[in-house]
A and B are shown apart, each in its own frame.
Chain A
Amino acid sequence: MHSHGAWVTALKRSSPFLLSAFLSGIVFGALAENAGLSVGNSLLMSAWVYSGAAQFVGLQLLITHADLAVVLLTTLLLSLRFFIYSMSLVDEVKAVPISYRALLAFGLIDQVFFLAKDRYKEPVSARAKHVFFLACVLIFYFNWLAGTALGIYVGDRMASHVAHLGFDFIATASFIAMLGPYLKQRRFLLVSLAALILYLPCQNLPYNLGLIVACLGAVTLVKLSGFSRERAVSGASA
């Protein structure tokens, strides 16, 4: 497949998720404008930090003049999921040149991770997969910047409409649409159920840590149960 085809595929597959990301960018831009952050700094935050969770919480901390250490530690905790994402993609990007890898890492957000991880499982050339990944990175990055810019421009009038009309549900729906296809496989269904059960007692942990704990716990649990099954099978054959 030519790189042109990889771009078309990337556009097609990211299109269902672009609107919710764009709306979220609008809400961020509007909040930042409302909070008195300058236009330049608001755009800089989206361009540099590039993480919904870290930006929304970081904005609150900026407004309240929180300590530098608090802001940085909070950012660290909120960004732990990126750490898990990059760990999960280590093998897939091993063959990518290092400068190119540095660029891909910058664009690693939820949607891009799910799309890329999915694409790497498919039987197309390694090059086509890497170009697909890069295309997703760039598409979502400029989508986020454009959303932020529009949010700054239209201000909080627009942001309140987004919440009122239920557009915040679009993000949830887009994650459900991504999860759905996995659940047809029994082992993924087990992971999902484990994550659900583990999330409940951790839901009130600060900084989204419940998500991290539930994720690591679910993956570990299912892996351990798989180990014992493998051992039972090999024991029976021996």
Chain B
Amino acid sequence: MSTVLLLAGMAGITYALRVCFWFGAGEGLPAWFKRTLHYVPVAVLTAIIVPAVLLKDGAFDLDIHNARLAGALATGFIVWRFKHLLAGIGGGLLVFVLWRWLSPLLMS
């Protein structure tokens, strides 16, 4: 029972943060501020990707054995060149898996 209450509390908080701006609070925001909000997706995506791809133990991981970076570059290239998201994700995954498997064998 207490677990259910705890879950309800967590749910209440996540929902409140999602919804509060849509119930009146957003009306008073100045126009220049709202235009600034178009930058948000790019900033958040970058902050999600950087630690997943470039960092290891708090430092840059620009090593030849960084399979995450190799896969990320493959995804970026395919999406940029062919504009196909699914191919980019699949190709990146393939490069990531192969790189992780082969780079210790070939370049040790």
Please indicate which of the listed interface residues B46, B52, B67 has the most CB atoms of chain A within 10 Å of its own CB.
B46
Interchain CB contact under 8 A, A166 and B18: no
Alpha-carbon distance between A217 and B34 when the two chains are bound, in angstroms: 16
- Please encode chain B, from 33 to 55, with 1 for each CB lying within 8 Å of some chain A CB and 0 for all others: 01011111111111111111111
Interchain CB contact under 8 A, A72 and B86: no
Of the A-B pairs whose beta carbons lie under 8 Å apart in the complex, a sample of 6, sorted by A's number, is A169-B71, A172-B71, A173-B75, A183-B42, A192-B45, A214-B47
Separation in Å of the A167 CB from the closest CB of chain B? 8
Verify if A236 is at the interface (C-beta below 8 Å from B): no
Interchain CB contact under 8 A, A219 and B39: yes
Tell me the dominant secondary structure on chain A's binding face: helix
Please indicate which of the listed interface residues A118, A200, A215 has the most CB atoms of chain B within 10 Å of its own CB.
A215
Q: How large is the interface on A (under 10, 10 to 19, 20 to 34, 35 or more residues)?
A: 35 or more
Alpha-carbon distance between A86 and B49 when the two chains are bound, in angstroms: 21
Verify if B107 is at the interface (C-beta below 8 Å from A): no
Q: Which of A173, A192, A223 contacts B93 (CB 8 A)?
A: A173
Interchain CB contact under 8 A, B86 and A15: yes
Interchain CB contact under 8 A, A79 and B13: yes
Alpha-carbon distance between A98 and B6 when the two chains are bound, in angstroms: 28
Alpha-carbon distance between A86 and B41 when the two chains are bound, in angstroms: 12
A48-B11, A214-B43 are contacts. A170–B72 as well, Cβ < 8 Å? no
Interchain CB contact under 8 A, B15 and A41: no
Alpha-carbon distance between A58 and B11 when the two chains are bound, in angstroms: 11
Interchain CB contact under 8 A, B36 and A219: yes
Verify if A176 is at the interface (C-beta below 8 Å from B): yes
Interchain CB contact under 8 A, A91 and B89: no
Give chain A residues whose Cβ lies under 8 Å from the Cβ of B105: none
Interchain CB contact under 8 A, A196 and B46: yes
Interchain CB contact under 8 A, A195 and B43: yes
Separation in Å of the A58 CB from the closest CB of chain B? 6
Q: Which of B88-108 contact A (CB under 8 A)?
A: 88-89, 92-93, 96-97, 100
Enumerate the 4 nearest inter-chain pairs by beta-carbon distance, A residue then B residue, closest first.
Answer: A90-B26, A48-B11, A105-B19, A195-B46
